[in-house]
Amino acid sequence: MAEIIDGNAIAEEIKSELKAEIAQMRAKGRAPGVATLLVGDDYGAKMYRRQVERTAAEIGLAYRDVSLPAEATLADVVGGMHALNQDPTVHGILPLRPLPKGMPEAPVLEAIDPAKDIDCLHAINAGRLSLGQPVVYPATPWACYVLLERFFAHKGLDPKAAFEGKDLVIVGRSNIVGKPAYFLALERNATATTVHSFTSRAGALPAHTRRADILIVAMGKAEFITAEMVKPGAIVVDVGINMKPVLDDAGQPVLDDRGRPKRKTVGDVAFDEVREVAGAITPVPGGVGSVTNMLLMRNVVQAAGRA
Ligand code: NAP
């Protein structure tokens, strides 16, 4: 039975460290600040904004919100970004996605001052990461490695040696998770492989995942990775966040108080069966997501330190 890698506990550790660092910075009159830029009223983006605001308040970061209506033009959004770039109280900027339908993402991301880019979204920062000269790490893939490094360290293992030469397979190649996760694996001297939908179409996905000593899954497909796709004893990191209907024993949807189907959050890994074969596994929720938020804040503090 796999050990559970407790993302909530690790996020709490990082949170206490950040609180102490921020208190010291404030005592020296250098209060770090974070801002979000929201365009339109996407539910997920608004939830994310609230989360950033709440976490900032908890750890002592100043917070600024810029919200623009869904009808805003690209020029309005780029203008909003430039205003945040020029605000000396803001050290880190997070554009909330998705942007309204039809608005191109690239010019918005390119408008962030690279020095205030806290999620490695700007091409300059993404390019530096790919060259092995990182200035800022993208929070979600970084969270996968921080979780593992702290997990290994708590077990008394050398977090460096735990990656070196190991077969590390990443399922997914998105710009925000899979691709940077590959560069972070190389940085740790793992033998890294990226697989994606064409690997699946070629029928080769299980052969790759079964080889992995460390398996990072970021595909956005609920409970796709099953026990037979995982090597016994492997370490499994599940990045996926998917909503799934709750069913009763007869396979019928369970309804909430208002008569709507109940839903639960699941990852890309079939947790109950994979934990039977894996050596360690991150849960969803309570795994990568919890640590991601804290690492975004860590990037704000680092940006403020550099400013
Ligand atoms: P994405 O942009 O949709 O990318 C999904 C990747 O999975 C693509 O590279 C795709 O391959 C690959 N894929 C899809 N189906 C596949 C299959 N059957 N076999 C093999 N590969 C397959 O998603 P994302 O933004 O990377 O997010 C992935 C998941 O992580 C989502 O559930 C998302 O909600 C979650 N997420 C979590 C956090 C967090 O903080 N915990 C943050 C961001 C995202 P192709 O490139 O060939 O299409």
- Tokens 């804290």, residue located: 294
0.85 surpassed by pTM: yes
> What topology does CATH give the domain 30-113?
Rossmann fold (3.40.50)
Q: Ligand 1 center to residue 173 CA distance, Å? A: 7
C-alpha span between 233 and 223 (Å, rounded): 19
CATH 3.40.50.720 in the chain is located at 139-289
Residue 176 CB less than 6 A away from ligand 1: yes
pLDDT tens per residue across all 307 residues of the chain: 999 999 999 999 999 999 999 999 999 999 999 999 999 999 999 999 999 999 999 999 999 999 999 999 999 999 999 999 999 999 999 999 999 999 999 999 999 999 999 999 999 999 999 999 999 999 999 999 999 999 999 999 999 999 999 999 999 999 999 999 999 999 999 999 999 999 999 999 999 999 999 999 999 999 999 999 999 999 999 999 999 999 999 999 999 999 999 999 999 999 999 999 999 999 999 999 999 999 999 999 999 999 8
pLDDT at 270: 98
Closest to 221 in 3D by CA, of 253, 196, 184: 196
pLDDT at 191: 98
Q: 248-275 as b/e, with b when 16 or more CB fall inside 10 Å?
A: eeeeeeeeeeeeeeeeeebbbbbbeebb
- Tokens 């996926």, residue located: 240
Ligand 1 pocket check: which of 146, 182, 219 to mutate, most ligand atoms within 8 Å of Cβ? 219
CATH 3.40.50.10860 in the chain is located at 30-113
The token pair at 10 is 């690790």
Q: Ligand 1 center to residue 28 CA distance, Å? A: 42
The token pair at 184 is 């972070």
Q: Ligand 1 center to residue 79 CA distance, Å? A: 31
pLDDT at 244: 93
Ligand 1 pocket check: which of 145, 147, 196 to mutate, most ligand atoms within 8 Å of Cβ? 196
Q: Is 114 helix (H, G, I), strand (E, B) or coil?
A: helix
CA 178 to chain centre: 10
Q: Ligand 1 center to residue 57 CA distance, Å? A: 30
> What topology does CATH give the domain 139-289?
Rossmann fold (3.40.50)
CA 87 to chain centre: 26
pLDDT at 34: 98
